[in-house]
Chain A
Amino acid sequence: DAKTTQPNSMESNEEEPVHLPCNHSTISGTDYIHWYRQLPSQGPEYVIHGLTSNVNNRMASLAIAEDRKSSTLILHRATLRDAAVYYCILRDRNNAGNMLTFGGGTRLMVKP
């Protein structure tokens, strides 16, 4: 799977929007962009994924650049419970059974 680059950490104030960037300049045409997050002392949990179009769900929105070389996870109103490490991961849709390869992720800190 192609590599992604994320900032090590970001800070946000509670109830403000958060934009978490991810660069994936070597993305291939069959790679989905997945986001997972890991709360302290827990296993990762799925957040959202997309291919080309922007995506929204109850947890977040995913904005994908037109050239697909970058994407942004948007939390519309950060809460203290959103403090976690957020991982941006590319997964080839032709290899649905493959494992996920985790990079360093972005540690999001939310201030009250």
Chain B
Amino acid sequence: GAVVSQHPSRVICKSGTSVKIECRSLDFQATTMFWYRQFPKQSLMLMATSNEGSKATYEQGVEKDKFLINHASLTLSTLTVTSAHPEDSSFYICSARDARKNTEAFFGQGTRLTVV
């Protein structure tokens, strides 16, 4: 079945640095990908919608200058957490759906970000 690959699965960075997370659809094209964030014991919260070839759409309360999203191709979206702070430590998850089919959504394995 369709697979979404997310990398890295785990990253530790120093406060003030930037971290890039990649999300790839391996065997289908995704004009739209979604980025979620999940804090411990909580549900997934949508951060932004990544649109191939255009600007991302951010949910209310999510800083677009802090969470940079680039969707340069139909199979790759990246999320860059800039100037990371300890409160940005979370589980980040991407999702994509095959644009040609009305099918289920596929999720990446998630990225555990720890800012120290």
Contacts and interface: CB of A to CB of B under 8 A. Distances in A.
A34 B102 CA distance: 13
A21 to B, nearest CB: 18
B108 A43 contact: yes
Contacts, number: 49
Interface residues of B, number: 26
The residue among A41, A43, A45, A105 with the most chain B CB atoms within 10 A of its own CB is: A43
Interface in B78-116: 91, 93-95, 97, 99, 102, 104-110, 112
B112 A41 contact: yes
A105 B112 CA distance: 21
Interface in A44-71: 44-46, 49
Contacts of A34: 104
Interface residues of A, number: 21
Interface stretch (B12-20, B41-49, B67-75): B41-49
Interface of A is mostly: loop
A97 B107 contact: no
Among A34, A36, A100, A103, the one with the most B-chain Cβ atoms within 10 Å of its Cβ is A100
11 contacts: A36-B105, A43-B4, A43-B6, A43-B108, A43-B110, A45-B107, A93-B102, A99-B49, A99-B95, A100-B95, A102-B45
Ranked 9 nearest A-B pairs via Cβ: A43-B107, A46-B104, A96-B102, A102-B44, A99-B34, A43-B110, A102-B43, A43-B93, A44-B107
Given A46-B106, A100-B95, A103-B43, 12 more contacts: A38-B44, A42-B109, A43-B108, A43-B110, A44-B93, A49-B104, A93-B102, A96-B97, A96-B102, A97-B31, A97-B32, A102-B36
